[in-house]
Chains A and B, each alone.
Chain A
Amino acid sequence: MRHVTAVRIGPIGFRIGSHWRGPIAAIEDLYAGYPAPDDGIPDFNVHLFAARPWRRVLRPSVHIGGDFVIPDAAPLPLAQGLLAAEMGMNLQMALGLRRYLLLHASAVERDGRAVLMTGISGAGKSTLAALLMARGWRLMGDEFVLIDPATGLAHAFPRLISLKNEGIPVAEQAVPQGRFGPMLLGTPKGTLRHLVPDARAVSAMAEPAEPALLLFPRFGFEAAERAVLPSEAFVRLTQSSTNYVNLAERGFEALTRLVRSVPSRAIDYPDAETAVGMVEALA
């Protein structure tokens, strides 16, 4: 591949190759404060490539490849090359990770205690994580939390925070001094803008934390809160894990241990400010 970069996010190293300079330059810029993969050996490879040679220049469209791929994934326009790289890395995690139980959740930490927030797309995971980061929490990640089956500890995966649609202005206002990526219009998920995790999130990313609270937030409702039984939390988390089935017994044991040892709450919220207050009251 013509343009190459490598980065470590939490415990996972990536090598990203591209036919075009653009996506690599964007990754190098936004991940400038991140270390390289341990020992120079990445865990996963991502390739951004043109399906036909002339498509490198003529209406360039970026196909996402790597060690693990889904067949027939739709390509993205070159202007969204950064998103393609991020999607490529997420895909490797979702399909290839076996070292940790992967939960589709955001997480923040204070005093060694981690709050895990999970929910469907649009529940506000990323926005809440960004706001809590702005209020002094250590951001562990806005997309994936990695549970070590051996210890039960949560490991951070602080990739770029991926803000979507109405979450963008909320975060821009809450983190005025934050470093933001370019505004990406018309992506498959609408308008998208990345926020670089703060220096603390990056410098502490190798430190795991004890899970202390599981939250199931839901945006767009009157403020409400209820306890969630371990059984319900278990089922919902199996649905938000991409490698639970592949980890088999290790996955089952890690997940049952998590839902048994950590309290779970579901919260509904009408706006981000209310949500942040609710989270901080619970944690």
Chain B
Amino acid sequence: MNPAMLLAAVLRDPARAEGLTAPEWTALFAVARAEQLIGTLAHRIDGLAMPPAAARLVKDAIASAEQGRTAALWEAEMARRALAPLDMPVVLLKGTAYAAAGLSPSVGRAIGDLDILVPRERVEEAETALLAAGWEWVKPDPYDDLYYRQWMHELPPLIHRDRDKMIDVHHTVLPLTARITPDAAAMLADSIALENGLRILSPQDMVCHAAAHLFADGDLAGGMRNLWDIHCLLGEFGFDGLAARAARHGLGSAVARAARQANRLYGTPIPETWRVWDSMDPLFVRRLTARDGWGRSTRKLVQLGFYLRSHWLRMPPLMLARHLWTKYRKGHRPT
């Protein structure tokens, strides 16, 4: 069995872990690390019968994820304090949002950067306040910086000079150049306040955002983790009002694909009417599970295809040509 499929199978049904051979355990942990799912895996299989060496790795991963959670919530608090005087809605996105709201994807989840969404017309105020509070620009390249400011859905990434943590300040969900234009104002308007004043997206918007991030943007690198988020969110919130909300954001097909892929890989229960597979679905499965038993990425051609697709989705053809040419001249190559 493909080791990434083995990981999916164990996440789906933890009892599958009982009776794994040593090489299977080794591959399972290697892929789980590569996909940033080792904490999730650890929580799923914790307490089952397993060799002591595997149990040690499980214990390490649980402790590590717990520390990551504490650090992520602290980072959110730091951003809250920096932005509080501006009195603007600050919506937590992705990992930090799941952790702050105690949602099921957050169990054992690795949390990378802090992602927040603010109103587009106030994004510069937010940037100024963050710079004053110790965050600094990361991208030294003027082309990259200008590119972000002109065309992206977020500010150029900022990193905190003492804590070395990155913050992505979003003002919408997809790049401005993308063909799909989700309604960020509606997402902000329907967001839900947490006790500390920070906000999270409404349940349907949370699914829409996760699906947009995975299937309407990017090249699906590390997609198994993001798909696990979607699996958990769909399990937690169900499908009420989801299709209508997704349609409003132009994300109907991304959300439908997310549901199908989650169903395929993790066995997420989805309504009968959502089970309409298209000809691309098998290719997405191949991309999502492109890992060998060492956790290294495989299927280079499939990956290259998705890399090109991500750019195709992101910008019109002429602009794409110009962008790729500029990046090529600067020495960038697709991996």
Q: Which residues of A contact B (CB under 8 A)?
A: 1, 13, 15, 17, 37-43, 45, 47, 65, 67, 98-99, 246-248, 250
The answer on a CB contact under 8 Å between B60 and A39 is: no
Contacts of A99 in B (CB 8 A): 56, 59-60
Q: Quick check: is B23 within 8 A (CB to CB) of the other chain? A: yes
Rounded to whole Å, the gap between the CB of B269 and the closest CB of chain A is 33
Interface residues on B, range: 20 to 34
Contacts of B29 in A (CB 8 A): 41
Q: Quick check: is B147 within 8 A (CB to CB) of the other chain? A: no
With A15-B26, A41-B22, A41-B26 known to touch, is A67 a contact of B295 (CB < 8 Å)?
Answer: yes
**A40 vs B33: C-alpha distance when bound (angstroms):** 18
Contacts of A247 in B (CB 8 A): 67
Produce 1/0 per residue, B290-323, CB < 8 A to A.
0000111000000000000000000000000000
**A40 vs B50: C-alpha distance when bound (angstroms):** 12
Complex partner residue of B33 from A13, A15, A67, CB under 8 angstroms: A67
Rounded to whole Å, the gap between the CB of A170 and the closest CB of chain B is 38
Q: Which residues of B contact A (CB under 8 A)?
A: 22-23, 25-26, 29-30, 33-34, 51-54, 56-57, 59-60, 63-64, 67, 70-71, 294-296
The chain B residue with its CB closest to the CB of A1 is B294
Complex partner residue of A65 from B23, B64, B296, CB under 8 angstroms: B296
The answer on a CB contact under 8 Å between A47 and B23 is: no
Scoring B29, B51, B53 by chain A CB atoms within 10 A of each residue's CB, the highest score goes to B53
**A45 vs B63: C-alpha distance when bound (angstroms):** 20
The answer on a CB contact under 8 Å between A41 and B30 is: no
Contacts of B63 in A (CB 8 A): 98, 250
List 9 contacting pairs A-B, 8 Å CB cutoff, sorted by A.
Answer: A17-B294, A39-B22, A39-B51, A39-B54, A41-B25, A43-B53, A43-B57, A45-B294, A248-B70
Rounded to whole Å, the gap between the CB of B231 and the closest CB of chain A is 24
Complex partner residue of B67 from A17, A65, A246, CB under 8 angstroms: A246
The answer on a CB contact under 8 Å between B52 and A38 is: yes
Complex partner residue of B53 from A1, A37, A65, CB under 8 angstroms: A37
The answer on a CB contact under 8 Å between B51 and A41 is: yes
With A39-B52, A42-B26 known to touch, is A98 a contact of B294 (CB < 8 Å)?
Answer: no
**A152 vs B186: C-alpha distance when bound (angstroms):** 54
